């Protein structure tokens, strides 16, 4: 199980390095905390105080201080043989909102899965002398590094374990909080078993390719979400690893990625699909350039059959390659996609006036028009019923839970339960129920 975190805001690097002695750590720290408040990542004085006390640069020796204290930057610490990063210190923005989700209090027992060191130090500050923090990782090089850095920073009381967290840490007993800093496709039963009833698991969970950091509370034999945050993490290693299925559409430059149970039964139907003319459909739904519409991709993933993600190589140039044009003039498109037989559509937008974009769909295939229109109709439905909330409740159940129990889950504040508003995703160990409040007329 790996500690690498890859945030959606990792493009904040590029601060020119300088000699550490010329940098004012306290000024950088203060600016970082101010930015975390502005981003609504820090929401409490307790979490802000932790960022003020823990010296991040101790856990990133040799890294320029402006990079270490940049609010939206993850610091890479290890790469694989292909040069891909496999370990990092999470961006402060991600660490902050996950600590807020975890709601750690003095005296608690906390397990962190994925060891970088600095997050364990912050957890140790939150639990205080009366609490206990254990951090674990599958990579002995990572745990050795974490141990040395924690000791150097004065956090020798943090316990560091090397092992595959898929099986938990049974000898350690129960925890009040488990916080996972690596992207997961499923939740192993050991994690639920090692939570006290009412305890909290904070985990980046993938659901049909969409990742959300979920704050899940244990309620008997299952877990119920209390909050969800947009995030992006490198995938888990070890027994919990799950490989997505790729369907190549244009060499290795354009592909569809299927993460759960939505892979087409006959992928050959999509052979040559990109040779057809692209069809566009527009919804009339507009969003501001800085406006969040985080719930839309999750809504599309839960209601559209054949949900998947569209991946286009960053070096792809349709004019040079003579290939299909995937984006609009402004270059805007989104990975949310779905397949119906011999056609597929994906989420797109176009600029209608300065700072305002209309949401729509691009589609390819013999039945591109109805496929695009179906996606557009779901954009309109989301706009009418879920754009401004409420968010869905996500619950995690044992794999042997009966269908009728999952499809009758009450949603807080909802006077009725509609089976059409609940999507069930089967994983290896669990069944994930995504429950949207009943839409009103």
Q: Which string of DSSP letters, residue by residue, matches 306-361?
A: TEEEEEE-TT--HHHHT----S-TT--EEEEEEEETTEEEEEEEEEEETTEEEEEE
> Taking residues 295-317, what's their average pLDDT?
92
> Taking residues 51-66, what's their average pLDDT?
92
User: Which pLDDT belongs to residue 14?
Assistant: 34
Residue 347's pLDDT band, with cuts at 50, 70 and 90, is very high
pLDDT at 441 over 80: no
> Taking residues 94-106, what's their average pLDDT?
97
User: Which pLDDT belongs to residue 408?
Assistant: 65
Rounded CA separation 335/300 (Å): 11
Rounded CA separation 74/90 (Å): 5
User: Which pLDDT belongs to residue 36?
Assistant: 98
Which range among 22-26, 80-84, 158-162, 177-181 shows the weakest confidence by mean pLDDT? 80-84
User: Which pLDDT belongs to residue 228?
Assistant: 95
pLDDT at 27 over 80: yes
pLDDT at 6 over 70: no
pLDDT at 153 over 90: yes
Residue 78's pLDDT band, with cuts at 50, 70 and 90, is low
**Within 10 A of 45 (CB to CB), how many other CB atoms are there?**
8
390 cis-preceded (ω within 30 degrees of 0): yes
User: Which pLDDT belongs to residue 415?
Assistant: 46
Q: Which string of DSSP letters, residue by residue, matches 58-118?
A: GGSTTS-HHHHT-TT--EEEEE-TTS-EEEEEPPHHHHHHHHHHHT--TT-EEEEES--SH
pLDDT at 21 over 50: no
Residue 23's pLDDT band, with cuts at 50, 70 and 90, is low
Q: How far is CA 148 from CA 62, 154, 211, in A?
A: 15, 10, 32
Give the active site residues. 90
Which range among 283-287, 304-308, 313-317, 345-349 shows the weakest confidence by mean pLDDT? 313-317
Per the prediction, the chain carries an average pLDDT of: 88
> Taking residues 347-357, what's their average pLDDT?
92
> Taking residues 166-183, what's their average pLDDT?
95
The side-by-side arrangement of strands in the sheet containing 422-426 is 159-162, 132-137, 109-113, 175-180, 195-207, 210-219, 222-230, 393-398, 430-435, 422-426
Write down the number of H helices and E strands in the chain.
11, 19
User: Which pLDDT belongs to residue 10?
Assistant: 33
User: Which pLDDT belongs to residue 300?
Assistant: 96
Residue 82's pLDDT band, with cuts at 50, 70 and 90, is low
Residue 3's pLDDT band, with cuts at 50, 70 and 90, is very low
**In this predicted model, what pLDDT tens digit does every residue of 376-431 receive, in sequence order?**
999 999 999 999 888 899 999 999 999 877 876 655 554 444 334 689 999 999 99
What percentage of the chain carries pLDDT values higher than 90?
71
Among 234-238, 367-371, 386-390, top mean pLDDT goes to 367-371
Residues in the chain: 441
Helices 45-53, 25-38: inter-axial angle, 10-degree rounding: 160
């Amino acid at each position: 199980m790996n500690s690498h975190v890859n945030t959606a805001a990792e493009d904040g690097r590029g601060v020119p390095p300088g000699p550490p002695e010329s940098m004012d750590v306290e000024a950088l720290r203060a600016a970082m905390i101010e930015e975390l408040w502005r981003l609504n990542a820090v929401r409490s004085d307790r979490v802000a105080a932790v960022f003020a006390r823990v010296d991040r640069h101790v856990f990133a020796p040799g890294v320029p201080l402006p990079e270490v204290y940049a609010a939206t930057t993850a610091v890479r610490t290890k790469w694989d043989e292909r040069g891909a990063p496999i370990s990092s210190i999470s961006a402060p923005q991600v660490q902050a909102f996950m600590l807020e989700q975890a709601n750690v209090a003095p005296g608690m027992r906390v397990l962190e899965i994925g060891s970088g060191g600095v997050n364990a130090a912050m957890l140790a500050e939150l639990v205080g002398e009366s609490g206990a923090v254990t951090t674990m990782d599958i990579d002995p090089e990572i745990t050795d590094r974490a141990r040395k850095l924690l000791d150097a920073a004065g956090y020798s009381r943090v316990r560091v374990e090397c092992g595959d967290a898929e099986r938990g840490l049974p000898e350690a007993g129960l925890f009040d909080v488990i916080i996972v800093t690596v992207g997961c496709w499923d939740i192993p039963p050991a994690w639920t078993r090692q939570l006290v009833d009412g305890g909290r698991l904070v985990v980046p969970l993938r659901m049909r390719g969409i990742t959300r950091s979920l704050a899940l509370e244990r309620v008997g034999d299952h877990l119920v979400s209390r909050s969800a945050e947009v995030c992006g993490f490198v995938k888990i290693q070890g027994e919990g690893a799950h490989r997505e299925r790729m369907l190549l559409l244009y060499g290795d430059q354009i592909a569809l990625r299927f993460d759960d149970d939505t892979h087409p039964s006959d992928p050959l139907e999509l052979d040559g699909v990109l040779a057809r003319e692209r069809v566009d459909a527009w919804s009339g739904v507009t969003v501001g350039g800085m406006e969040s519409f985080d719930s839309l991709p999750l809504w599309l993933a839960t209601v559209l059959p054949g949900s998947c993600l569209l991946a286009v190589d960053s070096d792809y140039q349709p004019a040079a390659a003579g290939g299909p044009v995937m984006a609009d003039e402004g270059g805007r498109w989104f990975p949310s996609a779905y397949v119906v037989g011999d056609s597929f559509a994906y989420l797109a937008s176009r600029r209608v006036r300065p700072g305002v974009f209309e949401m729509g769909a691009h589609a390819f295939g013999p039945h591109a028009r109805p496929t695009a229109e179906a996606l557009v109709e779901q954009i309109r439905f989301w706009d009418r019923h879920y754009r401004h909330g409420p968010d869905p409740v996500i619950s995690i159940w044992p794999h042997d839970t009966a269908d009728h129990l999952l499809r009758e889950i009450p949603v807080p504040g909802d006077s009725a339960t509609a089976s059409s508003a609940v999507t069930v995703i089967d994983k290896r160990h669990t069944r994930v129920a995504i429950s949207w409040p009943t839409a009103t007329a």
